[in-house]
Amino acid sequence: MLQLQTQTAAYWTTDLKITRADIDALFTHFLETEQPLTTREVALFFIEQRLAAELERLRKHLASATIFQPAKHYEIGQELIFPALNFASGKVVGIRAGNNPDYDHFNVIEVAFGEKRREFAADLSVPHPLNEVSHDLDALLNSLQPNPETIFEHYGEAISEALEARLVAEPDAIFMGGYWFVRSLLAQATVAHLHLAEAVLDLREGGPATAEDLLPDLDFAPELPLPLRAFSLNVALSQDERFDNVGADGDVRWFLRRLEPPEVQSVPPRLEYRPVPYDDRLLTPELRELEIELGDEFSELPPLDKPPREVHIRLIYPHRRMGTLPMNAYLEAMLPPATEAQRLLITLIDGQTDQPFSAWVMREGRYICGLSDFYRRYKLPIGAHLIFRATEHPSQFILDFKAHRPRTEYIRLAIPSGGKLRFENFKRSIGAEYDDLMILGAEDIDGVDEVWAQTRNRRRSLSDILSELLPELARLMPQGTVHAKTLYSAVNIMRRCPPGPIFATLIARTEFESVGNGYWRMSDGEAS
């Protein structure tokens, strides 16, 4: 039985080995075409090469054989191929006269397939479907050969992983911006080319710009095809600290590092979380559910089956102050991958006006920055409900909130005093939906910053901060209690902290007492 190996799943998965000949064929292809290829394109080239090699192997194996057709005459010892039997190959070992009154004279040949034998009609003068089979062996083999796209559809992941692992280990292979090429075939950028690229980006206020945008001003390797020129320039820029790739995987875009916003060049201290050791087993199911609801970027959230299309976010003070958006695990799953950089420049679309604006994804700090104007335009309060929604474009997202006619409401206003925070209820006009347990206000920003700085410098403990905030907030409530969400919101004015350590401290310390439904108060001994 002759079966194409390339028709089996094992050939493309468990038995797959990338050989030196495969790499040499790919590098020769790069040399001839001068075109970088994506991993998918490399995989399709590899599949096509393997299919062609299999076809040639079978062609040589079957070159001396004859395709069986009932109308033909055959002799003992002749090798025959039977397309109807999945290209089984057999030898004629016997011939006898056929006997059927419905037909004129014909013969019956006996064919050995290894130890098995079968009989077939030959010298048959009446029409038969097998007589319509092409005599062309190449045409028949081509008709059996799988389609490369179909193979990639079924086994592309396994093939791509094997190829990537082999190419990563190949010294002369280089990967940049989603494309592969040969390092020794790159055009070499000079110091002058790089200085010119910096000047062009300077005129563009830092960027972003693609290599294709920069090339017209550089006179860089004009004799080469544009894709190779762009790839070579991308490689050169990636090796120079002045340039930052801020594009998603497969979409290389350059920005001058020195012109990036301060919150892109380093994480603002306001957003830094100094991890607090705590025993998460202390958290009750109710508090754990509350932690998941708050969706803090430093909280461990349950995994999702697939990336969401929409994430809801509650705005806390540090992000409102810095004009940033917290990037928890769910929001990050919506973003395009950026394999070569922790920074990514995306487009946000104002859900109220449909106007686009640029924002920076900072994976290292777990935030998105560039939202100060958006927050100020709509006077969004701490505790506001924000909606981050995907679009059809992988690097564009809608940022929205539920707006309503502004109305005057009482909110808790943080007032700095003597290095501490007091809270008072004041009327303020609010035009957006918010969490009434988390809403806070702060108007003396410099004073609040001073309280934050003192808290940070003194390394005040969570229990110390909670002992100060809880009675102050409870004073504004008729029941003298404070919800855990309110405490989370208030603590983050003084220090950046996810809800887990805050909730665990409330449970672990005897000075705090739960009164149910997420509300807390100072214990009787402490309150007195």
Please state the rounded mean pLDDT for residues 276-293.
Answer: 93
What is the per-residue pLDDT for 6?
78
- Check residue 169 and give its pLDDT: 94
The mean per-residue pLDDT over the stretch 63-73 comes to 81
Instruction: Give the CA-trace dihedral at 274, 280, 284, 288, to 10 degrees.
Output: 60
Q: How many CB atoms lie within 10 A of CB 358?
A: 12
At residue 105, the pLDDT reads 87
Q: Which CATH architecture has domain 70-132?
A: Roll (2.30)
What is the average pLDDT across 416-436? 91
Residue tagged 């005897």 (tokens): 510
Q: Which sequence spans correspond to the domains of the chain?
A: 5-61+145-176, 70-132, 186-249, 269-404, 415-425+435-527
Are 70-132 and 415-425+435-527 equal in CATH topology?
A: no
The lowest-confidence range among 61-65, 140-144, 460-464 is 140-144
d(C-alpha 281, C-alpha 470), whole Å: 23
Residue found under tokens 């797959």 = 16
Distance CA 113, CA 89 (A): 7
As a whole number, mean pLDDT of residues 188-214 equals 95
Q: Quick one: pLDDT at residue 134?
A: 52
pLDDT value, residue 98 = 87
Most confident of 70-74, 123-127, 466-470: 466-470
Least confident among 85-94, 235-244, 300-309: 85-94
Residue 79 has pLDDT above 60, yes or no: yes
State the pLDDT at residue 251: 86
Average per-residue pLDDT in the chain? Answer: 90
Of residues 134 and 219, more confidence is placed in 219
Predicted pLDDT of residue 132: 65
Instruction: Please give the radius of gyration of the chain, using alpha carbons only, rounded to the nearest integer.
Output: 35
Q: Can you give the pLDDT at residue 137?
A: 59
- Residue among 452, 451, 425, 455 nearest 440 (CA): 425
pLDDT tier, 3 (very low <50, low <70, confident <90, very high otherwise): low
Q: What is the pLDDT of residue 1?
A: 43
Backbone angles phi, psi at 25, to 5 degrees: -65, -40
pLDDT at residue 84, rounded to an integer? 74
**3-class SS letters over 365-405:** CCEEECCHHHHHHHCCCECEEEEEEECCCCCEEEEECCEEE
Specify the CATH number for 415-425+435-527; select among 1.10.357, 1.10.10, 3.30.160, 1.25.40. Answer: 1.10.10
- Taking residues 28-38, what's their average pLDDT? 95
For the chain, what percent of residues have pLDDT higher than 90? 72
Reported as type and span, the H/E element at residue 406 is strand 403-417
143 vs 89 pLDDT, higher one: 89
Band (118; pLDDT cuts 50, 70, 90):
very high
Mean pLDDT score, 446-458: 93
**491 C-beta neighbours (distance < 10 Å), count:** 25
Give residue 170's pLDDT: 94
d(CA 445, CA 313): 23
Average pLDDT of 317-326? Answer: 96
CATH topology of domain 269-404: At1g16640 B3 domain (2.40.330)
pLDDT for residue 2 is more than 60: no
Q: What's residue 346's pLDDT?
A: 93
In this predicted model, which residue has the larger pLDDT, 340 or 297? 297
**CA 305 to chain CA mean position, Å:** 14
Higher pLDDT, 60 or 400: 400
Calculate mean pLDDT across residues 166-187: 94
Average pLDDT for residues 43-57, to the nearest whole number? 90
